[in-house]
Amino acid sequence: MILTGQKNEEAVCLIGGAGARLPFLQPYSPDLKPLEMEFAKAKELLRRAPNRRRLWDLMGRTLNMFTPEECANYVSHCG
């Protein structure tokens, strides 16, 4: 989130004044995006398909390779 201008400065002051923390992150940080880790796993799994027919089959099964616990861990990892 990039905050510039007077309205944003006022928002930062109000948020800080309420005792909340407003972290500033880089515009793009793959370490803080759970989907980056999920896509990396999906791409690796799909690379293993030996041909197009098997690739389509594997694509149909790939989502089942992500457990709810694993997805929760990706989100927890990002804080």
Q: pLDDT digits over 13-55, tens only?
A: 888 889 887 776 666 666 667 677 778 888 888 888 888 888 8
And the tokens for 51?
A: 């041909």
And the tokens for 23?
A: 């972290």
Residues 6+ apart with CB under 8 A from 49: 55, 57, 58
**CA torsion angle for 9, 13, 16, 20 (degrees, to 10)?**
-70
- Residue 57 CA to residue 51 CA, distance in Å, equals 10
Look up the pTM and report it. 0.38
Cβ-contact 2, 27 below 8 angstroms: yes
